[in-house]
Structure 1
Amino acid sequence: MRTVVLTMKASVIEMFLVLLVTGVHSNKETAKKIKRPKFTVPQINCDVKAGKIINPEFIVKCPAGCQDPKYHVYGTDVYASYSSVCGAAVHSGVLDNSGGKILVRKVAGQSGYKGSYSNGVQSLSLPRWRESFIVLESKPKKGVTYPSALTYSSSKSPAAQADLWSTATYTSSQNRPGADPGIQRQDPSGAAFQKPVGADVSLGEMDSWKPGSVLLDEGLVPKEELSTQSLEPVSLGDPNCKIDLSFLIDGSTSIGKRRFRIQKQLLADVAQALDIGPAGPLMGVVQYGDNPATHFNLKTHTNSRDLKTAIEKITQRGGLSNVGRAISFVTKNFFSKANGNRSGAPNVVVVLVDGWPTDKVEEASRLARESGINIFFITIEGAAENEKQYVVEPNFANKAVCRTNGFYSLHVQSWFGLHKTLQPLVKRVCDTDRLACSKTCLNSADIGFVIDGSSSVGTGNFRTVLQFVTNLTKEFEISDTDTRIGAVQYTYEQRLEFGFDKYSSKPDILNAIKRVGYWSGGTSTGAAINFALEQLFKKSKPNKRKLMILITDGRSYDDVRIPAMAAHLKGVITYAIGVAWAAQEELEVIATHPARDHSFFVDEFDNLYQYVPRIIQNICTEFNSQPRN
């Protein structure tokens, strides 16, 4: 009996083990069946724009080579959805040019996008766009499911979407009760239109609609732009690189057609990288050979796309390499208001030279620099040892450029290496703080007039002195960032008529000079110099030249030697103008050395005007004689 019981127990235990093992195996099989599939990262091309992808947040893999300028990017940190996704990733620093995975998150549209140069990519500026995105490292959030396949917006042709607009009819929502204002709207002219099926448009974009506009996936586009190959938004330009730029390209016969094409490719790449626009850089092109000729000026093409198209159409002229003649041509003709020159933008000339010039460049370049033009030279190849005898002006590049410190000169050994100058050139021409030749004798000073208002002058002569001050002031370029003017009147006492920061335009300054009232009293010139140092020049900007122009009609009642020495030690260049009873030896003490260039004497007040050209000439000669290094 006991044996039977034991046998039954063993059978039960054996059955339990079998069921247990079977259950574990079954659970493992079930676990295998419900295991989550592995996430596959979708791959996109460099030219894919964020606006074409519907997903609000996604991870993608970018290929190598998206640093190329042809993949346009708009904005900095936050990018317009018209941007290349991968191009923006390189610009932001999340990726390098070798590609990789990124996380993209859509955000609201911005009222403006600021262009910048970063990580080898020049992003462009844009006034506004309806949708934006940011790029992050590909670190998925916990609990967030990212798509393994992206959803793209429908790609209707521009012509088809234009037809949707042109054939649509509409009754104003203001006249139709219950109409959806987000769907229907009437333009101010009364033209009827209706939102096309599937189009995504915000109320704000409807408000900005104008007759003749077409609604595309990216926003409202003028109808005339539909004829262009690309519906790329037109940038206002990079405000951080507001320069007026002229390219002087080598069209001489010796360059050959192939190298001429390489030269044009550099220009096209520069036009793309600069983000051309009315609020940023503008660019024109002059070709030189025997004689220079302008292909287009600063106002001909005001966006990068049109400029690149124009560059492609340039044909070679042939002839010699008369670079000096071309620089003179640009100095006299190119940077004029009629050609689109803007007074607040630095003037920049980039000269490309194959080998060496066939004429002299030093004198022409000096005149260009003194006109405020920043000259850059890109020299390619150069003369071989047996060719150096033909070089008209050895070391021509250093004689021509704005500063001989390497900043303004780029040299490549071969035309096939010309593309390597693109990034350093764009960076340098946009570095407006280092464009030293933008500062000229007429736009880089704080000028303080110290005017004698003593009794011996008299009311009529005092007005003549003010006219003299006006005539000098008219010669300068006046603004808060250019030349600034201040004035002090003195007798026994001193009075600040207006400081450097009071007026920032020429009309305002000239009106302020007219309003100065005659004071009358004694003549304490030494005290007046001290007062001007304290009340005017102590508030001068660090990067400004400080000029004091003192006008007096008599000998000072106090000592002028110590105040004059204090002015000289503080770097104030002092001009002393004496009239009638002024003491010549006192004027020479006040004036900066050499006194013959800084002190002047006239017998009568009515003859003051004769010295205006000479004073201006001396100011400019002194400025331009400063070392260029």
Structure 2
Amino acid sequence: VAIVVTDGRPQDGVQDVSARARAAGIEIFAIGVGRVDMHTLRQIASEPLDDHVDYVESYSVIEKLTHKFQEAFCVVSDLCATGDHDCEQICISTPGAYKCACKEGFTLNNDGKTCSACSGGSGSALDLVFLIDGSKSVRPENFELVKKFINQIVDSLEVSDKQAQVGLVQYSSSVRQEFPLGQFKNKKDIKAAVKKMAYMEKGTMTGQALKYLIDSSFSIINGARPGVPKVGIVFTDGRSQDYITDAAKKAKDLG
């Protein structure tokens, strides 16, 4: 809750910034004192304006609004409980607002309201290749964190010949395939191979690595399955030392 008290006309714009505040879930009350511009108050305040815009003749009598704002602080409606929301699956209450979430196995769509089943989950076929930056600038401790993060993603997959397959490629000044798609048939073996991956610790040839991803990692000879969705997850920490635009565009064009 925000309470704005003003006694004049602003010397800059208020409409856009007030709209951003309201969109962020902030309930705004606007109080005008004396010779105030009422149009400005209406631009600032939340809807309904009758409940959020007030006027007093002077600062000496502003205390008559105390009770109203005590109620505003103490009674915040639970929009999830009242059903006044658009969440498809899970509604999470926040002060004066709400946010949406999804059940396990689903992800929140860009609209912030609806959910879609996760690729690689139960019943989904997926060829997933991790492309890992092993350049010197990453540093050993961060390289280990990336390995842990990869294994957390692996834990969320259903790994089998008919569901998710996982491959791993590391790049630095050169590209090294750690293991191809389908080499390991279960999460345990994949995670063990990720943990054993040695840090290359040289340059950053991201463009070369992306080209390898397209031409080799997702080839049938390296375990890719025709007609199965292909996903590449690229980890990098800085500016490539080669050109990446063409390779990245080709990867996206291929789906």
Q: Using the alignment, how far apart are the partners of 1:459 and 1:502 within structure 2? A: 26
Structure 2 counterpart of 1:509, from 174, 179, 190:
190
Q: 1:482 to 1:562 in 2, by over 3 A?
A: same
Q: 1:538 to 1:463 in 2, by over 3 A?
A: same
User: Superposition pairs for residues 151-300 of structure 1, below 5 Å?
Assistant: none
Structure 2 counterpart of 1:564, from 234, 248, 255:
248
- Whether the 8 Å CA contact 2:120–2:163 is kept in 1: the answer is no
Per-residue CA distance 1:70-104 (angstroms, 9 max, x = gap): xxxxxxxxxxxxxxxxxxxxxxxxxxxxxxxxxxx
Q: Using the alignment, how far apart are the partners of 1:554 and 1:441 within structure 2? A: 29
Per-residue CA distance 1:12-60 (angstroms, 9 max, x = gap): xxxxxxxxxxxxxxxxxxxxxxxxxxxxxxxxxxxxxxxxxxxxxxxxx
Structure 2 counterpart of 1:460, from 110, 130, 141:
141
Work out which of the two has the higher radius of gyration on C-alpha atoms and give 1 or 2: 1
Counterpart for residue 535 of structure 1: 216
| Counterpart secondary structure, 1:456 | helix
State, as a whole percentage, how many aligned pairs show the same letter.
34
Counterpart for residue 236 of structure 2: 552
Q: Using the alignment, how far apart are the partners of 1:456 and 1:439 within structure 2? A: 33
Q: 1:560 to 1:506 in 2, by over 3 A?
A: same
Is 1:476 matched with 2:160? no
Q: Using the alignment, how far apart are the partners of 2:235 and 2:161 within structure 1? A: 25
1:484, CA displacement in angstroms? Answer: 0.6
Q: 1:448 to 1:440 in 2, by over 3 A?
A: closer
| Counterpart secondary structure, 1:553 | coil
TM-score normalised over the length of structure 1: 0.21
Q: Using the alignment, how far apart are the partners of 1:555 and 1:439 within structure 2? A: 31
TM-score normalised over the length of structure 2: 0.51
Q: Using the alignment, how far apart are the partners of 2:199 and 2:193 within structure 1? A: 13
Q: Using the alignment, how far apart are the partners of 2:252 and 2:188 within structure 1? A: 31
Higher relative contact order, chain-length normalized (CA < 8 Å, sep 6+): 2
Unpaired segments of 5 or more residues in structure 1?
1-362, 372-437, 572-629
- Whether the 8 Å CA contact 1:479–1:506 is kept in 2: the answer is no
Q: Using the alignment, how far apart are the partners of 1:559 and 1:440 within structure 2? A: 30
Structure 1 counterpart of 2:168, from 478, 487, 492:
487
1:441, CA displacement in angstroms? Answer: 4.3
Q: Using the alignment, how far apart are the partners of 2:120 and 2:154 within structure 1? A: 13
Q: Using the alignment, how far apart are the partners of 2:203 and 2:118 within structure 1? A: 39
Counterpart for residue 6 of structure 2: none
1:487, CA displacement in angstroms? Answer: 0.6
- Whether the 8 Å CA contact 2:130–2:233 is kept in 1: the answer is yes
Amino acid at match of 2:206: T
1:548, CA displacement in angstroms? Answer: 0.6
Q: 1:440 to 1:460 in 2, by over 3 A?
A: closer
Per-residue CA distance 1:383-440 (angstroms, 9 max, x = gap): xxxxxxxxxxxxxxxxxxxxxxxxxxxxxxxxxxxxxxxxxxxxxxxxxxxxxxx995
1:456, CA displacement in angstroms? Answer: 1.0
Unpaired segments of 5 or more residues in structure 2?
1-87, 90-101, 107-116
Counterpart for residue 24 of structure 2: none
1:543, CA displacement in angstroms? Answer: 2.6
Structure 2 counterpart of 1:526, from 207, 215, 219:
207
Amino acid at match of 1:569: D
